[in-house]
Amino acid sequence: MSLLAVGVSHRTAPVALLEQFAMGVPDTVKALHELVESDHVSEALVLATCNRVEVFAEVDRFHGGVADVSRVLARQAGATVEELSPYVTVHYEDQAVAHLFSVAAGLDSMVVGETQVLGQLRAAYALAREERTVGRALHPVAQRALRVGKRVHTDTGIDRAGASLVSVALDRTESRIGDLAGRTTLVVGAGSMGALAASTLARRGASVVISSRTTASAERLAESVGGRAATLVDLPAELAAADVLLTCTGATGLVVGTDVVAAAMSGRTGRPLVVVDLALPRDVDPGVAALPGVHVVDLALLQGERHGALLQGERRGAFPEGERAGADGGPLPASVAADDVAAAHAMIEAETALLRAERQAAAVAPTVSALRSQAADVVDAELLRLSSRLPGLDARERAEIARTVRRVVDKLLHEPTVRVKELAGVPGGTDYAGALRALFGLGIDAEVDPEAATLAEAVTGDPGTHLDRPAGSTP
pLDDT in tens, 357-382: 776 667 677 777 888 888 888 888 88
pLDDT at 468: 54
User: Is residue 474 helix, strand or coil?
Assistant: coil
DSSP string, 183-207: -EEEEE--SHHHHHHHHHHHHTT-E
pLDDT at 327: 38
DSSP string, 108-168: TSSSTT-SHHHHHHHHHHHHHHHTT---TTHHHHHHHHHHHHHHHHHHSSGGGG-SSHHHH
Chain centroid to CA 75: 19
* Known catalytic membership, residue 248: no
Q: Mind listing the pLDDT tens digit for each residue in 386-427?
A: 888 888 888 888 889 989 988 898 888 888 777 777 776 666
Q: What residues contact 449, with CB distance under 8 A and at least 6 apart? A: 61, 63, 64
Is-cis flag, bond preceding 427, omega within 30? Answer: no
pLDDT at 97: 92
pLDDT at 168: 84
- Low-confidence spans in the chain with pLDDT less than 50: 162-163, 308-336, 444-465, 469, 471-475
Four-point Cα dihedral 323, 324, 327, 333, nearest 10:
-20
* Contact predicate 5/54, CB 8 Å: yes
User: Which residue among the candidates 6, 50, 161, 459 is catalytic per the annotation?
Assistant: 50
Q: How far is the C-alpha of 457 from the C-alpha of 467, rounded, in Å?
A: 11
In this structure, the chain runs to a length of: 475
